[in-house]
Amino acid sequence: MIETKGLTKIYGNVAALDDINLQIKSGEVTVILGGSGSGKTTLLRLLAGLETPTSGSIMFADEDLAEISQKRLYELRLRVGMLFQYSALLNSLTVYENVAFPLNEHTDLDDTIIHTMVTMKLEQVGLRGFEEMMPSQLSGGMAKRVAFARALAMDPQVVFFDEPTSGLDPISAGVISSLIHETTVKTRMTSVVVTHDVQAGLDIADHVILLWQGRVIAEGKSNTIKNSDDPRVQQFIEGRPNGPIPFSRSQTAYIDDLTHKPGCVRLD
């Protein structure tokens, strides 16, 4: 469904992504795991066509995103759903209106058809009956489910999820994880899930990609990742503070920063 070759994204002097070669298969749940700052969100934004790479290519179902027209890119985006990290619901609209929003924006469907489609999506995420509630009246888990229903509204081929379970209690997180898995299997869509929740990620993944400092350091089935003997992978999976993955990404020595050596930010 999606393939990248040599995908690189540089911000200033930070390589957020460095030579990423990956394939996302149709009908599968691909989970992108990685610590803070490893480049997960950047990768998701590039794959969704929301940003352009510094170099390298992204093929979306045989079309090179760098080569196609703006109009075509817009058409492709309609085949993609996105669940943003903080749900990004429109606060002045009801649950119903939030889910109906993409349909009203991008289609000329009659209100009765839109009503049927919204009702189906809300049923799918277990929130039928909550149509008239406002986002401020929802719990975090419910808001994520509404955002999920909205992401599904246009029956997308691919859905990108940025941290779909972060900030949720274990039960709500489990509900979202199984919804992602179930929906992917039942509707044969393709899901790309970015998360730092190792267990939830490994549980629902058909394919796992582990990022570290903008590079892919491991990929494969959940079991392959769990059984990897790469010490960086093991540190990440076990959540150990000490190991080859440093807590700090500072480029300069601590003592140099403390003593104002050239190249350091002066405090005076």
Ligand X SMILES: Nc1ncnc2c1ncn2[C@@H]1O[C@H](COP(=O)(O)OP(=O)(O)OP(=O)(O)O)[C@@H](O)[C@H]1O
* Residues at the interface with ligand X (CB under 6 A): 11, 14, 16, 34, 36-42, 196
- 42, interface contact from Mg ion, ligand X, none, CB < 5-8 Å by kind: ligand X
Q: Which two tokens stand for residue 222?
A: 């959940």
- 196, interface contact from Mg ion, ligand X, none, CB < 5-8 Å by kind: ligand X
- Smallest gap from Cβ 236 to ligand X, in A, equals 12
Answer yes or no: are the C-beta atoms of 211 and 201 closer than 8 Å: no
Q: Binding to Mg ion by residue 41, rule CB under 5 A? A: yes
- 164, interface contact from ligand X, Mg ion, none, CB < 5-8 Å by kind: none
**Percent helix, strand and coil across the chain, each to the nearest 5:** 40, 25, 40
- Smallest gap from Cβ 40 to Mg ion, in A, equals 5
For residues 25 and 42, give the distance between their C-alpha atoms in angstroms, rounded to a whole number.
Answer: 20
Residue with Cβ nearer ligand X (85 or 107): 85
Which DSSP symbol is given to 139? -
Answer yes or no: are the C-beta atoms of 60 and 7 closer than 8 Å: no
Answer yes or no: are the C-beta atoms of 29 and 66 closer than 8 Å: no
Whole-angstrom CA distances from 194 to 169, 177, 181, 206, 260 are 18, 12, 14, 14, 38
Helix, strand or coil, per DSSP, at residue 182: helix
Q: Which two tokens stand for residue 219?
A: 């990929």
The piece of 39-47, 111-119, 123-131, 248-256 that touches Mg ion (CB under 5 A) is 39-47
- Smallest gap from Cβ 127 to ligand X, in A, equals 27
- Smallest gap from Cβ 9 to ligand X, in A, equals 8
- Smallest gap from Cβ 38 to Mg ion, in A, equals 9
Residue with Cβ nearer ligand X (79 or 249): 249
Q: Binding to Mg ion by residue 199, rule CB under 5 A? A: no
Q: Binding to Mg ion by residue 187, rule CB under 5 A? A: no
Q: What are the E-state strand segments in 68-206? A: 80-83, 158-162, 190-195
- Smallest gap from Cβ 104 to ligand X, in A, equals 30
- 145, interface contact from Mg ion, ligand X, none, CB < 5-8 Å by kind: none
- Find the residue with minimal CB distance to Mg ion: 41
For residues 33 and 208, give the distance between their C-alpha atoms in angstroms, rounded to a whole number.
Answer: 7
Chain positions contacting Mg ion, by CB under 5 A: 41
